[in-house]
Amino acid sequence: MDIDWESLGFTYMDTSSHLRYNCCNGAWDDGELHDEPYVNLHIGATALHYGQSAFEGLKAFSCQDGTVRIFRPQENARRMKDTASRIMIEPVPEAMFLDAIERVVRANIEYVPPYGTGGSLYIRPLLFGSSPRIGVCPAAEYSFIVFVIPVGDYYKGDLAPVSAIVMDEFDRSAPLGVGHVKVAGNYSPGLRPSMSANEQGFPIILYLDAAEHKYVDEFGTSNFIAITRDGTYVTPASQSILPSVTNKTLMALAEAEGIAVERRPVAFEEIAEFAEVAACGTAVVITPVNRIVRGDTTIEIGPREGCGPVLKRLYNKVRGIQVGELPDPDGWTHAV
Ligand code: PLP
Ligand code: COI
């Protein structure tokens, strides 16, 4: 194992093992660790044909006191249950989810980036229909896999701002569709637009509401957050965005600091009025967005370099709690 902890990006690498459970007739087994990163899957598995597949993303951190702590795993357990319910997957009980996360982190403890490197252990729970159906209906059997990867920044660098593009020719999710849950099928339709955005120099896409293209929904893999000129935290209310654990955390931290928080429809035109805008999520943490382009319109937001002051403060707070440098009064971190 020869890892340069300081220069990790967000890329796949093999670790010691992953954990795999199977569910047959509604009963989950006890799960087993596997060294080889492969599964033997039936060619008729519903996950492969009909996208009966869900995933989650959360992180574990090496802390100042030498412990390893997982950040808000109960939130991901609950969200995975909601996702499973929406696409008729046998749900993973919350206690089993939490135990699985802990087991896999313990089994790969040497892959948790050391304290002070800025890295973390990304945990990827994956849940899918594994038995065959050719008519469109739910599988009889399911697999629940949890694997881990040491990661650094998703985008280029620590709080370096990125430019976003609105592509009016693509939508992310329909108003009564599945944008509010973490199904695998929400991500492959984003591949073509994001490839095209990357080619034009935009690492991130901002999606608008599919019905009218009038309101901000979210970025492809993260929520939209903004700070108004009078210091209010604003984030879109929409039925087709993923309820982000990071956003929920930041809203709570903002409120604790006396910052007003508004969750409401955000018209695209309002972006020009914001003092700070960022993408937030487990993988991207807080990534400032200082330029948003839509056709001939370019909106510049906040400082040219780095992050605006309010989001920077919230970033420091959340990172501080995650790595045990700040108190955790709400018990968000879970020691392994
Ligand atoms: N929105 C989308 C579409 C996502 O894929 C993610 C990542 O999981 C998020 C938002 C952020 O959610 P969280 O903060 O729970 O990681
Ligand atoms: C996460 O932030 O955990 C995500 O799942 C985003 C991902 C699609 C890279």
**Closest residue (by CA) to atom 9 of ligand 1?**
222
Using most ligand atoms within 8 A of CB, pick from 56, 58, 221, 241 the residue to mutate for ligand 2: 221
User: How far does the centroid of ligand 1 lie from the alpha carbon of residue 79, in Å?
Assistant: 11
**Closest residue (by CA) to atom 6 of ligand 2?**
221
What span, in angstroms and rounded, lies between the C-alpha atoms of 73 and 65?
A: 20
Model confidence at 243: pLDDT above 90: yes
**Cα 266 to chain centroid, rounded:** 21
pLDDT of residue 44: 98
312 noted as active-site residue: no
Does residue 272 contact residue 211 with C-beta atoms inside 8 Å? Answer: no
**Closest-approaching ligand to the CA atom of 172:** 1
Q: What are all long-range contacts of 294-302, with beta carbons under 8 Å and residues at least 24 apart?
A: 294/165, 294/166, 294/168, 294/268, 295/166, 295/168, 299/271, 299/272, 301/271, 301/272, 301/274, 301/275, 301/276, 301/277, 302/161, 302/274, 302/275, 302/276, 302/277
What span, in angstroms and rounded, lies between the C-alpha atoms of 70 and 78?
A: 15
pLDDT of residue 269: 97
Does residue 274 contact residue 235 with C-beta atoms inside 8 Å? Answer: no
List, chain by chain if needed, residues with CB within 6 Å of any ligand 1 atom. 57, 218, 221-223, 242, 244-247, 281-282
Across the chain, what does the average pLDDT equal?
A: 96
User: How far does the centroid of ligand 1 lie from the alpha carbon of residue 17, in Å?
Assistant: 25
pLDDT of residue 156: 66
> What single DSSP character describes residue 89?
P
Model confidence at 209: pLDDT above 80: yes
Q: Which of 156, 182, 312, 317 is catalytic?
A: 182
What span, in angstroms and rounded, lies between the C-alpha atoms of 35 and 17?
A: 4
pLDDT of residue 49: 98
Model confidence at 200: pLDDT above 80: yes
The mean pLDDT value for 31-44 works out to: 98
**Closest-approaching ligand to the CA atom of 219:** 1
Radius of gyration, alpha carbons of the chain? 20
User: How far does the centroid of ligand 1 lie from the alpha carbon of residue 218, in Å?
Assistant: 9
pLDDT of residue 1: 80
User: How far does the centroid of ligand 1 lie from the alpha carbon of residue 56, in Å?
Assistant: 9
**At 153, is the pLDDT very low, low, confident or very high (cuts 50, 70, 90)?**
confident
**At 187, is the pLDDT very low, low, confident or very high (cuts 50, 70, 90)?**
very high
pLDDT of residue 305: 87
pLDDT of residue 235: 98
